[in-house]
Amino acid sequence: MKRRSAVVVGIAIVGLVAVWTIMQNASDQANRQSDVRMPTREAAADEAEPVAEEVDPAEIVAQALDVDTDQVRITRDPELRDDGRIVRVFAAVEYPEEQGRGFMVEYEVDTHLLRRIFWMGVQEWPGEPGTYVPVEEAREVAEQLKSRLFPSVPVEMTLLDIGAVGSGAAKSHSFRWGCKIAEGVFTSDQVRVTVNAATGKPRTYSQRVAAERPELEDIAVTREQAIEIATEHIVALWRRDWERDVRFEVAETRLELSSSRSPDGGPVWWISGYPVNVQTGNRRMGTIRPICAMTGELLL
């Protein structure tokens, strides 16, 4: 029976890989609590030797899901993503007296730091049509996951927003934590969790731990300079490619002290707004420009 179950799980995972790519939704897995915590950047940096290049993906999956390694079976060869910085693993996990489940887990190559978990399997529906788990209950599930999986960091994480995505059996409560240190300034430490609104079980978990957290006084490019750089680029682009004179109407400025857009995970200004036709006053489609906050380079 176990052998048959394992085969079924393997087939289900192959069929659902495309679903992950298109929808990034998942089915469910009951939340488990433990004192196990994933490695931190600081812990990796403090090691006398670099983190070993070779690591058993089953160990990473087991640690992320709080199960024994012998319960984990890797179902396809691990993939390198994000320019070789991220490993993606598909795995089946056997639970005692429960149906086996499939998972997608991503982690960083250098630090083995967890980046994402995607619960895969059979869709579960509400006990009664139209009945859903209260958002407060779903939040408890999300907070338990965050408490277990997000490493200790020297910043205070706060709940930034609560929302809902999907409908019917696909409906989920969503929660996002982050660190906002000033108006429009974020460290980029972040946790996102979606919980199945029909069952109260996790669907997705993702996190990002800042590579660095510079002090504001160490940022070389000011907000005004970043706006000027973005404006000059957009005006020149419209004049060159469309022979139109525009002005740039700034809608929002955001500073990430450690951005994934930066090659070294450094600070980046994000300047968003609208090109406005000088002659007609018509506002064009919104656009955004990422600018290195240390050099002023456009990171396009």
In tens digits, the chain (300 residues) has pLDDT values of 433 344 334 434 434 434 344 334 333 333 333 333 334 444 434 433 344 457 899 999 999 999 999 999 999 999 999 889 999 999 999 888 777 789 999 999 999 999 999 998 656 655 566 678 999 999 999 999 999 999 999 999 999 999 998 887 788 999 999 999 999 999 999 999 999 998 899 999 999 999 999 999 999 999 999 999 999 999 999 999 999 999 999 999 999 999 989 988 999 999 999 999 999 999 999 999 999 999 999 998
Q: From 147, 177, 208, give the residue that closes a domain.
A: 208
Q: Are residues 255 and 167 in the same domain?
A: no
Q: Are residues 202 and 247 in the same domain?
A: no
Q: Are residues 192 and 222 in the same domain?
A: no
pLDDT for the residue 26: 36
Query: pTM score, two decimals?
Result: 0.76
Q: Are residues 167 and 250 in the same domain?
A: no
Q: Are residues 9 and 151 in the same domain?
A: yes
Q: Are residues 176 and 240 in the same domain?
A: no
pLDDT for the residue 35: 33
Question: Pick from 95, 117, 102: which is nearest to 14 by CA?
Answer: 102
- Domain presence at residue 297: no
pLDDT for the residue 203: 94
- Domain presence at residue 300: no
DSSP state of 48: S
Q: Are residues 254 and 200 in the same domain?
A: no
- Domain presence at residue 298: no
How do residues 251-288 score in pLDDT, each as one tens digit?
Answer: 999 999 999 899 889 999 999 999 999 999 999 999 99
pLDDT for the residue 101: 84
SS3 content of the chain, % helix, strand, coil (to 5): 25, 30, 40
- Domain presence at residue 124: yes
Q: Are residues 162 and 36 in the same domain?
A: yes
C-alpha to C-alpha distance for 58 and 65, rounded to whole angstroms: 10
pLDDT for the residue 45: 40
Q: From 171, 192, 208, give the residue that closes a domain.
A: 208
Beta carbons of 236 and 243 less than 8 angstroms apart = no
- Domain presence at residue 112: yes
- Domain presence at residue 118: yes
User: What is the β-pairing status of strands 185-196 and 246-256?
Assistant: parallel
Q: What is the number of structural domains in the chain? A: 2
- Domain presence at residue 111: yes
Question: Pick from 193, 172, 174, 194: which is nearest to 126 by CA?
Answer: 172
Task: For residue 60, give both structure tokens.
Answer: 């990473």
Q: Are residues 166 and 233 in the same domain?
A: no
DSSP state of 168: G
Structural domain boundaries enclosing 35: 2-208
Q: From 208, 234, 255, give the residue that closes a domain.
A: 208
Question: Pick from 36, 25, 28: which is nearest to 144 by CA?
Answer: 36
Q: Are residues 70 and 162 in the same domain?
A: yes
C-alpha to C-alpha distance for 101 and 119, rounded to whole angstroms: 8
Question: Pick from 252, 257, 263: which is nearest to 299 by CA?
Answer: 263
pLDDT for the residue 23: 37
- Domain presence at residue 147: yes
pLDDT for the residue 128: 61
Stated as kind and residue range, the H or E segment containing 16 is: helix 2-23
Q: Are residues 197 and 220 in the same domain?
A: no
Q: Are residues 200 and 221 in the same domain?
A: no
C-alpha to C-alpha distance for 285 and 270, rounded to whole angstroms: 17
Beta carbons of 198 and 169 less than 8 angstroms apart = yes
How many distinct helices (H) and strands (E) make up the chain? 5, 12
Q: Apex CA 299: angle with CA 293 and CA 300, to 5°?
A: 155
C-alpha to C-alpha distance for 256 and 260, rounded to whole angstroms: 9
pLDDT for the residue 217: 95
Beta carbons of 194 and 134 less than 8 angstroms apart = no
